[in-house]
C-alpha cells in the first residue's frame, strides 16, 4: 500500500483554493489579526523581563519587516502577572496571527501558551481568533509595572545596552543587562507578591480522575481556589496536584483538607493512599 504524500495533498489543496479564487475574481481570505502582542513571562525573573524589554524591537522589526526606528516608537505596557511571580509584556501593535506567534516565540513566551494558541489557530481558521485573556486568571489582578520610570535614572546604562545591541555585540549587552537587573531588582520586588504552591504527589489514574472532579467543583464555588495537575517528577509517584495560595499556611490547609477529607461516593480517596505533601514558594526562573 502506498502511503499518501501529505505535502503533495496540502499543496494541491492550496492550489485549488487559489484557482477557485482567481476564476471567481475574488480575493483570498484576509489573514486574521490580533490587536496587540501579549508576551507571557509568567515565572520569569527580572533578568528575563529586561532581556525582552531590550530585544522586542528587533523581533518585531525582523518579523514585520519594519525599520527599527519606527518599531521603537510603538508603545508597550508591562504588568506583573496575576500570579504575582512573573510578568506580561504587551506590545501595542496590530499584527497577523502568524506574526504574533513568531514574535512571541522570539521573545521566549511561555511554551505551553504558544502551543495552545497554535492549536487554536489551526483548528479555527474560519473563526475570529481570540487569544488567551490574562484577566480571566486570579480575578484579573494584574499590577502595572512602571518599567520606564524605574529605568529612567539609569539612562546611561540603557543607552549603552541599546548601542551594543545595534552593533550586534550581544554578549556584552547581556552582561550589561545582568548588572542593570541586579541594580533595579529592589524597586521591582515591591510590585510583586508571594505565591505558594501546596503539592500532593500520588499514584494512579483511579485517584487522579475523582480528584480532578473534586478540585473543579471547589474552584467553581470558590474563585480563589487555583489548581493544576502535572505528571510527577518523583519516580515513585505518577501525578502531582499543585494548589496555589498567597501564603504558606493557606496552602498547607488546602492540601491537608484534600488529603484527609476529599471523597468520592462517601469514600476517602487520599486518606490511606501513598502520598507526599509539601509546600514551596513559587519563585522566578
Considering the chain, what percentage of its residues have pLDDT values greater than 90?
59
Q: What gap in Å lies between CA 8 and CA 138, rounded to an integer?
A: 46
Give the C-alpha distances (Å, rounded to integers) separating 165 from 57, 160, 177.
Answer: 11, 9, 11
Spell out the alpha helix ranges (H) of the chain. Answer: 6-23, 46-64, 68-71, 97-106, 111-123, 147-151, 155-166, 170-189, 205-221, 248-261
Is residue 240 a contact partner of residue 199, using CB atoms and an 8 Å limit? yes
Give tens-digit pLDDT for 217-270.
999 999 889 899 999 999 999 999 999 988 899 999 999 999 999 998 889 999
In 3D space, the residue among 54, 281, 86, 93 whose CA is nearest the CA of residue 176 turns out to be 54
Give the C-alpha distances (Å, rounded to integers) separating 222 from 214, 227, 260.
Answer: 12, 12, 19
- What is the full DSSP assignment across 131-163? PPPGGGSGGG--EE--HHHHHGGGHHHHHHHHH
Residue 37 β-bridge partners: 91
In 3D space, the residue among 240, 277, 238, 282 whose CA is nearest the CA of residue 257 turns out to be 277
In 3D space, the residue among 185, 160, 143 whose CA is nearest the CA of residue 47 turns out to be 185
Cell of 272: 490511606
> 137 falls in which pLDDT band (50, 70, 90)?
very low
Residue 201 β-bridge partners: 240, 276
Cell of 157: 546604562
Q: Which of 25-34, 145-154, 185-194, 212-221 has the lowest mean pLDDT?
A: 25-34
* Confidence (pLDDT) at 115: 86
* Confidence (pLDDT) at 3: 40
Domains of the chain: 33-189 (no CATH), 196-281 (3.30.70)
* Beta carbons within 8 Å of 234's beta carbon, 6+ residues apart: 201, 240, 276
Selected residue with higher pLDDT from 223 and 132: 223
Cell of 97: 496571527
Give the C-alpha distances (Å, rounded to integers) separating 129 from 28, 59, 63, 110, 274.
Answer: 18, 22, 19, 19, 44
* Confidence (pLDDT) at 126: 53
* Confidence (pLDDT) at 25: 52
* Confidence (pLDDT) at 95: 92
Residue 274 reports pLDDT greater than 50? yes
In 3D space, the residue among 241, 230, 232 whose CA is nearest the CA of residue 200 turns out to be 241
* Confidence (pLDDT) at 237: 96
- What is the full DSSP assignment across 182-209? HHHHHHHHTT----EEEEEEE--HHHHH
Amino acid at each position: 500500500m502506498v502511503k499518501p504524500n501529505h505535502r503533495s495533498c496540502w499543496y494541491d489543496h492550496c492550489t485549488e483554493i487559489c484557482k477557485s479564487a482567481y476564476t471567481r475574481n475574488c480575493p483570498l481570505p484576509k489573514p486574521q489579526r490580533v490587536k496587540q502582542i501579549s508576551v507571557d513571562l509568567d515565572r520569569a525573573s527580572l533578568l528575563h523581563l529586561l532581556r525582552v524589554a531590550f530585544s522586542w524591537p528587533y523581533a518585531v522589526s525582523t518579523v514585520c519587516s519594519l525599520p527599527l526606528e519606527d518599531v521603537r516608537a510603538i508603545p508597550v505596557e508591562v504588568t506583573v502577572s496575576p500570579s504575582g511571580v512573573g510578568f506580561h509584556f504587551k506590545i501595542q501593535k496590530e499584527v497577523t496571527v502568524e506574526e504574533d506567534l513568531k514574535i512571541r516565540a522570539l521573545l521566549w513566551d511561555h511554551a505551553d501558551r504558544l502551543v495552545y494558541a497554535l492549536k487554536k489557530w489551526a483548528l479555527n481558521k474560519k473563526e475570529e481568533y481570540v487569544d488567551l485573556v490574562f484577566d480571566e486568571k486570579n480575578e484579573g489582578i494584574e499590577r502595572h509595572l512602571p518599567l520606564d520610570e524605574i529605568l529612567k535614572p539609569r539612562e546611561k546604562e540603557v543607552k549603552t545596552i541599546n548601542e551594543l545591541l545595534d552593533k550586534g555585540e550581544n554578549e556584552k549587552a547581556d552582561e550589561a543587562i545582568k548588572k542593570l537587573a541586579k541594580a533595579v531588582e529592589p524597586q521591582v520586588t515591591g510590585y510583586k507578591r508571594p505565591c505558594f504552591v501546596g503539592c500532593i504527589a500520588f499514584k494512579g489514574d483511579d485517584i487522579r480522575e475523582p480528584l480532578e472532579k473534586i478540585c473543579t467543583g471547589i474552584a467553581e464555588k470558590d474563585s480563589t481556589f487555583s489548581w493544576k495537575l502535572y505528571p510527577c517528577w518523583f519516580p515513585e509517584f505518577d501525578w502531582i496536584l499543585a494548589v496555589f495560595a498567597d501564603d504558606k499556611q493557606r496552602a498547607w490547609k488546602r492540601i491537608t483538607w484534600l488529603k484527609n477529607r476529599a471523597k468520592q461516593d462517601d469514600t476517602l480517596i487520599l486518606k490511606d493512599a501513598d502520598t507526599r505533601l509539601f509546600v514551596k514558594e513559587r519563585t522566578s526562573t
